[in-house]
Amino acid sequence: MTQSDLIVIGGGTGGYMAAIRASQLGAKVILVEKEVLGGTCLNWGCIPTKALLRGAELVSLVAKSQEYGVNVGEVTVDFTRMMARKQQIVQTHVTGLQGLMRSNGVEVIKGVATLASPAQIQVDTGTGEKQTLEASRIILAPGSVAATIPIPGSDSSAVITSKEALQLTEIPQSMVIIGGGAIGVEFSTIFAGLGATVTVVEMLPQIIPTEDHELALFLQDSLQKKGIEVLTGTTVSAIEDEAGGEKSVTVKTGEGERKIKAQMVLMAVGRRPNTEGLGLEGAGVGTERGRIVVNEKMETGVPGVYAVGDAIGGILLAHVAGAEGEVAAENALGKASQIDYRVVPRCIYTMPEIAAVGMTENQAREEGFDIAVGKFPFMANGKATVLGERDGMVKMVADAGSGEVLGVHIVGPHATDLIGEAALCMKMEGTIEEILSTIHAHPTLTEAIREAALDVQGLAFHIPPRKRR
């Protein structure tokens, strides 16, 4: 039997961050991972999708290069090379993680882990023998898997999830994407940008349903201008074979039923906790609708057993899992730590990008706040004009009385980079006045954040003044 101070099950963002933090605090740590370090984010999610998105961005940029005074020849996509670059990027970071584990003294064991008790786990290493590990503290970070919905015909090999989409060997000529959340709209941007005919089907009244309605409408319009068909308030009732290998997707819209033909169907309806076979029930770890139940310290109902990341539900984002991993490790080793979910940045990598932190305008009103809203379009920003990316805006929601910033929503160039300033401001309970008194460099995209704050007071410099009531 191998003993340690702490065992981490799962080597994704939440797991490896927990392992490193525990090691920093002086613990002897063992991390068990059944596949590859980095988990879904690094291997089948965040990083590989952004690598492909970068290719789609270059196609778009080169297509309008004459606007910049640069003439190029015909643009073609070498998808094999693009996928190879994607995999090289992934492998580079997997190798980096392996080095980080070694340099932090974290022992990594490859195998399938099962809880034998609150202090023991069994690891099937695939050699025919099981290894027993023991520790007084365990952190569960098993992650999530792609969710599916039971649609007749969805068991076809032409119906894929995000994981299979990242293993394609050629660009599909046409694709129906079921789900208009972050995963669905990101893949629609990638494949449409590489030349596929794409339709996005979303059951709810708006795409990216958890985000500000105004930004969702802006994104929908932007996707449609790129030739992507977006159907909201629409359900899929059947997927059937067509002659020539195509699929016929039957959808029900507010205007009736129709069929959409496509070479491939991508199921992008979210993710679900990956807790099957973990031995939770036998160890007394409670679950609720498949997710592991934890308190604000990331501790389960079993003392000494913690859980983090997608497996506990909540906000299924890699950076949230990483933060939860840090908190769990700190609490497991005697510190008092807690997450402020109020200021989690949410990023959607479309073209243009979308990023947000805090409450939407509607949420703030529903919470009973008397709010003031400011907006500033990127078309009035010098840097955006220079970049040739003038579409979008910054929208700021603030408490009308105190001026405290309640939410910031950005659609436009480098939105996912810009949102960091807003998250820091909100974490510090910053106000409109504090943003206004901070000089922002010119010419930069960050000026749009200050101008949106100015517009909360109706005092923006680079858009016409509001009409006085």
Active site residues: 442
The backbone torsions φ and ψ at residue 122, rounded to the nearest 5 degrees and listed phi first, read -105, 135
Q: What is the token pair recorded at 233?
A: 């308030």
What span, in angstroms and rounded, lies between the C-alpha atoms of 18 and 278? 19
What span, in angstroms and rounded, lies between the C-alpha atoms of 270 and 291? 14
- Please report, as a single letter, which amino acid is at residue 178: I
Task: Count Cβ neighbours within 10 Å for each residue of 31-57 and write b for 16 or more, e otherwise.
Answer: bbbbebbbbbbbbbbbbbbbbbbebbb
What span, in angstroms and rounded, lies between the C-alpha atoms of 403 and 422? 14
What span, in angstroms and rounded, lies between the C-alpha atoms of 90 and 43? 6
The backbone torsions φ and ψ at residue 332, rounded to the nearest 5 degrees and listed phi first, read -65, -30
> Are the beta carbons of 320 and 314 closer than 8 angstroms?
yes
Q: What is the token pair recorded at 18?
A: 């927990």
145 forms beta bridges with: 272
What span, in angstroms and rounded, lies between the C-alpha atoms of 8 and 108? 9
Element (H, E) at 423: helix 415-427
What span, in angstroms and rounded, lies between the C-alpha atoms of 273 and 421? 31
What span, in angstroms and rounded, lies between the C-alpha atoms of 224 and 71? 27
The backbone torsions φ and ψ at residue 43, rounded to the nearest 5 degrees and listed phi first, read -95, -35
- Own/partner long-range contacts of 77-83 (Cβ < 8 Å, ≥24 apart): 77/171, 77/194, 77/195, 79/168, 79/169, 79/170, 79/171, 79/194, 80/169, 82/51, 82/52, 82/55, 83/52, 83/168, 83/169
